[in-house]
Amino acid sequence: MNKAFVKESEDGDDDEETLSPASRLPPGSKNYMTPRGYQSLRDELDQLLRVERPKIVETVAWAAGNGDRSENGDYIYGKKRLREIDRRLRFLGKRIDNAEVVDPRARQGGDQVFFGATVTIRAADGDAAEQTWQIVGIDEADVSAGKISWISPLARALLKAREGDTVRFMSPAGAREVEIVTVRYE
């Protein structure tokens, strides 16, 4: 198909728009992340830039030398994969450039919840078991690993509260109250 009939974004401004709402930064806010999260993004950027992209460029160059490109699967897939890699590189570059790295270990000894805190909570009515969550950046959030984004409803309710406080927040199941059992910085 002629390129004149294919719509592709040239500037990559749609990178943030394709994210789920939970993965978008609030307008005008900093991209807070832990040193571990920052290093993870840097490692992914390095892997794409130094390993994966050169491999695909080599494959595309080889495929282009084989003649007819319109029916060449290696060439077509390679070009598509290059666009995906380049889009991800732009996204990672923007996230890293806007990163505000906050080391939770620098806050040792406090009982107040700030970014990076590992907080143990339990339902205010005492029925549920205790849960432990670490408040991390949006690119680091992983509920199965006990890490929630600082922009999540629970994290926003916990921020600036202290051990022993009861906070109220809106969960998908409705309004909930939880008591802060412990706050630590690791």
Structural domain that includes position 118? 104-185
Per residue in 119-157, pLDDT (tens digit) is 999 988 777 789 999 999 999 999 999 999 999 999 999
Sign of the C-alpha dihedral, residues 78, 79, 80, 85? positive
H-run or E-run covering 148: strand 147-149
Mean pLDDT of 92-117: 89
Judgement on whether residues 179 and 116 belong to the same structural domain of the protein: yes
pTM, full prediction: 0.79
Q: How many CB atoms lie within 10 A of CB 133?
A: 18
For residue 4, being part of any structural domain is answered with no
Residue 67 and residue 34 in one domain: yes
Measuring CA to CA, which residue among 167, 180, 159 is closest to residue 113? 159
97 and 108 housed in the same domain: no
Domain end point (choices 101, 131, 156): 101
Tell me, yes or no, whether 17 lies in a domain. no
Q: What angle do CA 54, 58, 59 make, to 5 degrees?
A: 120
Q: Is 127 helix (H, G, I), strand (E, B) or coil?
A: coil
Last residue of a domain, one of 75, 101, 127: 101
Q: State how far the Cα of 110 lies from the Cα of 99, in Å rounded to an integer.
A: 24
Number of domains in the chain: 2
Measuring CA to CA, how many Å separate 128 from each of 121, 122, 145, 176, 178? Answer: 10, 6, 19, 12, 10
Residue 63: inside a domain, yes or no? yes
100 pLDDT band, cuts 50/70/90, is very high
Mean pLDDT, range 164-180, rounded to an integer: 91
Q: How far apart are CA 7 and CA 16, in angstroms?
A: 18
Instruction: Classify 79 as helix, strand or coil.
Output: helix
Among 73, 101, 129, residue at a domain's last position: 101
Is position 21 within any domain? no
Closest-CA residue to 79 (of 158, 13, 8, 145): 8
122 shares a domain with 57: no
Q: How far is CA 101 from CA 79, 110, 144, 180, in A?
A: 34, 19, 23, 25
Q: Is 77's pLDDT higher than 90?
A: yes
